[in-house]
A and B are shown apart, each in its own frame.
Chain A
Amino acid sequence: MAELPAYDNVKFSVFDIDQQNLEQSWKDVKHETDDFLTQWGIDGLRSGLDEHVRTVLVEKPYVCEDFRSLHRHFYGRKFRERTSMCVRLHFFRKELTLSQILLVGAQQDYLGSSVIEPLLTRCIGRTVLDPVKLGHDPSNVHLLGTTFRSRIGGQVYEVRGYPFRSQNSESTVCAHVTMWAVCRYLSTKFKLYRKHLPFELIEMAGRRNGRVVPHHGLNYADYSEILDRFGCHPVIVANHGLGSHPFSAKTGETKSQTELINFERNLYTYIESGFPLIATFGGHVVSVVGHTSKTPQEVDEQIKSLNEPVHAAELVGSYVVMDDNDFPYQFMSRQTGSKGEYKKTLGEIRGIVVPLPDEVYLRPQDVESFISEFIEDQPIANMIQESLSDIPSVGPLIYRPFLTTGASLKEFKLKQLQKKNEDPNPRYHLTLSLPKFVWVIEFSSAELRAKDRAFGEVLLDATAGRSDLEPIFIRIGKYIARNRRVTGKRDIDYAVASSYSTFLQYRHNLGSPVKNV
């Protein structure tokens, strides 16, 4: 009888990344990975890490459950035998010794990790990198992220970021890895969702379009099927800026600027609500995971001469995408024609798929319709005007819609109340009976926004629809309005409730500190 192989010992090796000789340093790392790290992988990692990484720790072998899933169902079934073992790289921004990393701990300097899969070219497996430590200032770059834990020996390292992996073009294509990243982000962040391995997701698409591997892409029905079986209730939003049939548009040429603006408002609102978006450029698919904000000076310049209310989407600098062909956290320009760091622009997106939870029936486009009429109606317009006149204000009203949970909103308001001398009005929120999800529309001005403050807010029930759409609670400056029952009759009434006050904008759904959202 043949013998079983012995249990491997894990080997840790540390490499200084010499800034004077980067090429050689990475060659040494590659050699230590037994050449699992391909030149394609080196080029990809170096494009974002060279400025920041000073030490790479190589951990081998590493058993990656994600690769094992693909190996069991695909690579292990190929004629030529190949290992299911991977190598993992850990990145640090300081020069460190093995003992410092393994015994003392160097959490402060931990940039994240990358699994290197034993594939011929596209070898970058599960990767999570900390965007803040990569130089993306959280006061300006608002990103989805959650905490992932790595154990190196017995030492626990944490990294807050968004998951990433490259496609290998045989068992997975860009649509799969994007779907995997969205699902892994959600299952790591929320207990509600179970963790799914790559092949589980591939199989969820079903076989009505033929075999699932080697793969050829997905259609929107597949997206919906996967996300539905994962536990989400997805919606598809088209970019009608590209015409009436945007999904089959051959080019990303904008045909209607107004429709593009409407699409961007939807996209921004979903991002601002904390949902990772699956965005398609036709053949290619990426995740949209955040945005940057324009500086207060840029905002002043942009809106000082305007009278009409401004949607907060207009004040976005760029959107952040995760493209499996590029290093994580690429900045995509909003303007068609202008080129940002990333090769595509917002206007070229054909559509997005949003992994919504249940109980979010009211769409952002409905909220937009409601709020744009609401702020123009006379009593409300008067309250807004009166409130704006109390602020040394330049420019018009800025409104920011986003979705959050009633519980999370109350938690945030309670924290504000507990701060001495803060606005006493959060007491209202604590007494409200709120649905699981609420749409919040915050009113601000350029001055207040620069201080992360707002002067008004409207709460809408996310389960409302055409027949029952009315605010749960309104606050504008010194006025509050709410549903009341007086002498047996229910109405929405308003009154002066307090002296004029402003309040801190809701803590970002994207998890970063409040700053010019």
Chain B
Amino acid sequence: MSENEPLQWMDIEDLEKDIPSENWQSLGETIRRVNERIAADLDRNRRREAADFADIQNLVVGNEVTR
């Protein structure tokens, strides 16, 4: 791009026109594997939130005068 040339908008097709279709490879399996591996973590995060919520019921905080 020359210094004085104004920027031209490019659609996604313009951006990818030089990438041959056979060069594209799928990441679908990666995403599936990752989601499988983290499913238990996400469930644990939800359970923890519920336990914390029970822990804090009626706990009064923020009443301290320290100086």
Contact = CB atoms under 8 A, between A and B. Distances in A.
Nearest to B14: A427
B44 to A, nearest CB: 9
A238 interface: yes
Nearest to A363: B45
Nearest to A179: B62
Interface string A157-183: 000000000010100011110100000
A190 interface: no
Interface residues of A, number: 65
Interface in B1-45: 1, 3, 7, 10-12, 15-16, 19, 21, 23-28, 30-31, 33-35, 37-39, 41-43, 45
Nearest to A218: B62
Contacts of B48: 238, 240
Contact of B61 (A40, A285, A365, A470): A285
A196 B7 CA distance: 45
B52 A247 contact: yes
A497 interface: yes
Nearest to A497: B19
A167 B39 CA distance: 44
B57 to A, nearest CB: 7
B24 A219 contact: no
Contacts of B55: 238, 245-248
B52 A351 contact: yes
B65 A169 contact: yes
B25 A495 contact: yes
**Interface SS of chain A: helix, strand, loop or mixed?**
mixed
A374 interface: yes
A474 B31 CA distance: 12
Given A245-B55, A380-B30, A492-B27, A175 B63 contact: yes
Nearest to B26: A491
A351 B61 CA distance: 11
Contacts of B23: 495-496
Interface string A196-218: 00000000000001000001111
A178 B34 contact: no
A248 B54 CA distance: 12
Contact of A284 (B10, B49, B62): B62
A96 interface: no
B56 A247 contact: yes
A370 B62 contact: no
Interface bin, chain B: 35 or more
A431 interface: yes
A83 interface: no
Interface in A461-490: 466, 469-471, 474, 481, 484, 486
B24 A484 contact: yes
A418 B24 contact: no
Contacts of B24: 484, 486, 493-495
B58 to A, nearest CB: 6
Contact of A218 (B41, B61, B65): B61
Given A284-B62, A486-B21, 8 more contacts: A169-B65, A220-B56, A280-B62, A366-B38, A379-B25, A431-B10, A484-B24, A497-B15
When A and B form their complex, which 6 residue pairs have the shortest distance between CB atoms, in order from nearest? A175-B62, A217-B63, A283-B64, A285-B62, A325-B67, A369-B41
30 contacts: A173-B64, A174-B63, A217-B62, A218-B61, A219-B56, A238-B48, A247-B59, A248-B55, A280-B62, A282-B64, A283-B61, A283-B64, A285-B62, A325-B67, A365-B45, A366-B38, A369-B41, A369-B42, A370-B34, A370-B38, A373-B37, A379-B27, A420-B3, A427-B10, A431-B12, A431-B15, A484-B24, A493-B24, A493-B27, A495-B16
Interface of A: 40, 167, 169, 173-176, 178, 209, 215-221, 236, 238, 240, 244-248, 280, 282-285, 325-326, 350-351, 363, 365-366, 369-370, 373-374, 377-380, 417-418, 420, 427-428, 431, 466, 469-471, 474, 481, 484, 486, 491-497
